[in-house]
Amino acid sequence: MDTRIQFRVDEETKRLAQLRAESQGRTLSDACRELTEKLALEQRLVDEQDQWLTEQIQLAFAKVDSGQARFFSHDEASTRMRAFKKQLKQQD
């Protein structure tokens, strides 16, 4: 089901926006719809990333709770990360 979105802008802004949209072969409504759809897509991606991060955090806490987590000192973690980055660069 489609829904209507209304907002107010001054006449000069509307006039200039219409001219710009028309110069691109579309209507101002088309441009507003495209912007709205783009914003919605961006939000969907953010929501997916947030969901993935939440799942990863829950998995990490589950590992801690079950005793399966391994903890490293700062120095060891830094050494491991440097080695990992070096390995990634060699794959390129």
Residue 23, in any domain of the structure: yes
Total structural domains in the chain?
1
**3-26: average pLDDT:** 96
The structure tokens listed for 31 are: 């441009």
Q: What pLDDT shows up at residue 2? A: 87
Asked if residue 72 belongs to a domain, the reply is yes
Please check the confidence at residue 32 and state whether its pLDDT lies above 80.
yes
- Cα 26 from Cα 17, distance rounded (Å): 11
The answer as to whether 1 is a domain residue is: no
- The pLDDT value recorded for residue 1 is 81
The phi and psi torsions of 88 (rounded to 5 degrees) equal -65, -40
42 residue type, one letter? E
CA distances from 29 to 16, 43, 71 (A): 14, 21, 55
CB atoms within 10 A of CB 79: 12
| 37-87 pLDDT tens trace | 999 999 999 999 999 999 999 999 999 999 999 999 999 999 999 999 999
Look up tokens 């939440």; give the residue: 54
Is residue 3 in a domain?
no
Residue 36: domain span: 11-91
